[in-house]
Chains A and B, each alone.
Chain A
Amino acid sequence: MSVADRLPLGDAAGNGALLLGAVCVLLAAVFALTPLVVSLPGSLYVFFEVAILFAVYGVLVLGLDLQYGHTGLVNFGHVAFFAVGAYAVAMLSARDSFAGVSLGLPWPVALAGGVVVAALLGAAVGATSVRLRDDFLAVATLATAEIVHSLFVSFEGVFGGNVGIGSVPQPVSDLAGDADTAMLATLLLFGGVTLFTLAAVTRLTEAPYGRVLRAIRADELVTRSVGKSVLTYKMQSFVYGAALAGLAGGLFALYTGAVAPGYFTIQVTVTVWIGMLLGGAANHRGVLAGLAVIMGLRLLSRFALGVMPLSADAFASVRLVVVGLILVAVIRYRPAGLWGDAEELGVDT
């Protein structure tokens, strides 16, 4: 990508993802809407679960890559927008949840509401913090995530406290014939959404729009002095990333049928950040691949527990050590990530 043009205007970057996404969604519709049923071997369930979570986190990491990879905004509170999207969808669509607010609106309305609420939170945080220099923005976003998390735990009457919100509709499960078919349809649908997101962010960043974002990442003053409204672009990039995180959260809520603070810890932010840095910031497909690597490793380590002569507690620590070592190795030997471009990211190799 270093040479030649980043903007292949004639042929259309992102169209492959768009097409593949459409195929996925169509297939999902076939499984969900027709009496067709599939049965999956029980041993594969765990792979399907992780793959569905990967699709959800994929939308998260693509939003983060727009913010950090292209615009240089250090958002250490990505989970906040994910959580707010999930809670908004859950509260808008749940019927008679055991705890917290449940409004019982149709799920498509709730999903749209979730995206809007996350975008609004993004706009509020952006308006107050996006002017800050990198490290200060990191602190402000990290604090936002902590505040959001505490609010969800503390306001039991509204957010259901540690129990969270239950009885959220699960449209795919309701439509599909049985649990196995629902799982496959969900994976295809979410995979399709992730691919659509990939197509959208690719189009955005391959267009002159992305050129302005990368210029901001490189030098704000120069970008301003050639007539670009840097603040507007930073706000847009931040809000778009937040809205995507809200979408991911909404999908997550409609898949699990319940949300609780335990799903939305700093661990989510850490996972998508490691995935992005591992894959190579500013390369959309790279960050997805990096996320796949880190989530794949986590999955593998589950099986490793069975053959290791260690207690589960000790093993959890070993797992963290291994992830940390991988990150250290990548930063040492491939500072731009596995598929990142060192010159474009301005790092020494």
Chain B
Amino acid sequence: MSLLAVENLGKEFGGLRALDDLSVSVDRGELVGVMGPNGAGKSTFFNCVSGVVTPDEGRVLLDDADVTGDSPEALARAGMVRTFQHTRELETMTVRDNVRLAAPGQPGERTLPALLRTGSMRDREREVRERADELVEAFELDHLADEYSGSLSGGQRKLLELARVLMLDPDLLLLDEPFAGVNPTLTREIAERIRALNDDGMTVVVIEHELETLTELVDRLVVLQQGSLLVEGDPETVLSDERVIEAYLGE
């Protein structure tokens, strides 16, 4: 059964067709890679799926429910969470608070429980802190936990972003270029973490330029070109496909 189904998605930006009749589906428990040359529509695909932009045509189904045009916050609560190509940190907040923020179901995020400082808010906050500290430690950011995230390096930001989205315990995780600008050691480490998450049952979709890491990591590759699906299949088949070689190496 497919967890995410995208049907005939289309999006145009001022005459430029970024997505053209794109249909892709991702099964529960799969680890799927999305690749394609620059401008192939990878990020637009993510943006349309995650509610950041509304598609002009087509439908997005999450767990068989039509979520086309739903807001990012509604989709995050429904279990689909994404990261961003250029890491977006809450730079004026500490690493710890960055992670804690993402916790779902905190009654203290409403006015009255916050004013009255209710027991349920404090109990939840205790759990939130414990979980956030676990994640911060798991991503080896504990020595930076009280630093403002604006002072982190590029690689550390990628790790923090992962820790933050995992706080939501998503069913479907969309990662937009998680290896961009990251050194080879850290790339391997992040790849292992993604695999471990997938082994634990999380469905993951990864956009990436870095072909080698991606092909080693994923179960299935989807290649986009000019906003449409070029090829999909298991990594070896896809990489030996004539059309893919042509798209990447040019005519």
Shortest C-beta distance, B79 to chain A (Å), equals 10
C-alpha gap A228/B74 in the complex (Å): 8
Interface residue SS majority, chain A:
helix
Shortest C-beta distance, B161 to chain A (Å), equals 9
Q: Which of B4-12, B105-113, B223-231, B242-250 contacts A (4 or more CB under 8 A)?
A: B105-113
Are B115 and A200 within 8 A (Cβ)? yes
Known contacts A214-B93, A236-B111, A346-B92; A224/B117 CB under 8 A:
no
CB-CB nearest in chain A for B50: A225
C-alpha gap A211/B146 in the complex (Å): 15
Are A211 and B114 within 8 A (Cβ)? no
Contacts of A346 in B (CB 8 A): 91-92, 150
Are B110 and A209 within 8 A (Cβ)? yes
* Contact residue among B101, B114, B121 (Cβ-Cβ distance under 8 Å from A223): B101
Contacts of A203 in B (CB 8 A): 114-115, 117
* Contact residue among A204, A227, A344 (Cβ-Cβ distance under 8 Å from B76): A227
Asked if A314 is an interface residue, CB under 8 A from chain B, the answer is no
* 8 A Cβ contacts from B187-243 to A: none
A-B contact count (CB 8 A): 121
Are A218 and B77 within 8 A (Cβ)? no
* Contact residue among B72, B97, B168 (Cβ-Cβ distance under 8 Å from A211): B97
Shortest C-beta distance, B146 to chain A (Å), equals 5
Asked if B186 is an interface residue, CB under 8 A from chain A, the answer is no
Are A222 and B90 within 8 A (Cβ)? yes
Contacts of B94 in A (CB 8 A): 2
CB-CB nearest in chain B for A344: B92
Shortest C-beta distance, B54 to chain A (Å), equals 14
Asked if B24 is an interface residue, CB under 8 A from chain A, the answer is no
11 examples of A-B residue contacts, CB within 8 angstroms: A12-B117, A200-B115, A204-B111, A207-B115, A208-B114, A219-B88, A221-B52, A221-B88, A224-B72, A226-B165, A346-B150
Instruction: Name A residues whose Cβ lies closer than 8 Å to a Cβ of B.
Output: 2-7, 9, 12, 200, 203-204, 207-212, 214-215, 217-219, 221-230, 236, 240, 343-346
